[in-house]
Amino acid sequence: MSVIQPEVSLDDDVLVTRARAGDLEAYDLLVARHTASAYRTAVLLGAGPDSEDVIQEAFVKGYRKLSRYRGESSFRSWLLAIVANETRNLHRSRSRRDGLVLRAAAANPASDVTEDGAVGAVLAGERRAALVEALRRLPVRDREVIVCRFLLDLSEEETVATLGWPRGTVKSRTSRALAKLRGLLDVEEVRHG
């Protein structure tokens, strides 16, 4: 009696190799696997209502540049770097660099509330709104590192690859940005407390 083995989930490297060889289905699988994190990245970096256009353009550019992917970082990090660049391009074309991040979170400040009851929901919404406001007040590069490290939950290595910064810059900017964010949140708490 033979046992049928379930198809082993293909890792990104195998799919990239197949896509480079012209296998469009392999690239479609990569797109399907990474669409959610690409979309989240675009939204959190400030693409807002243009997030779908940004990720579509990023996936097209990713396919065109697939031969340049060397595997030094994960495919996900490499792709998110393209998404981040496309989002920056969007901002440049809009000529607006202020107030970029987290429009989606600001539009629905009470989402992801885990506390029970109306009072808990209001308090959680106020905390989230305060965080969104504080993030908006950070300089762009500080905001980008906070988004990558804590909202997208990227590792330090993935943040280096996504933002294209040296490791030391990611470490120091993360530390400084967190200190600025804490300061802004403390001021906000005193004002509303």
**20: Cβ–Cβ under 8 A, 6 or more apart, which residues?**
66, 67
CA distance 55 to 85: 11
Match 């980008």 to its residue by tokens: 144
* Cα–Cα separations (whole angstroms), residue 127 to 59, 100, 149: 35, 19, 19
Query: What is the per-residue pLDDT for 28?
Result: 94
pLDDT for res 30: 95
The b/e string for 101-116 (b: 16+ C-beta within 10 A; e otherwise) is bbbbbbeebeeebeee
Residue 76: per-residue pLDDT = 92
Q: In this predicted model, what pLDDT tens digit does every residue of 49-66 receive, in sequence order?
A: 889 999 999 999 999 999
Q: What would the mean pLDDT of 147-152 be, rounded to a whole number?
A: 86
Domains (range + CATH), the chain: 9-97 (1.10.1740.10), 101-193 (1.10.10.10)
Tens-place pLDDT, residues 94-121: 544 334 334 444 444 444 433 345 555 5
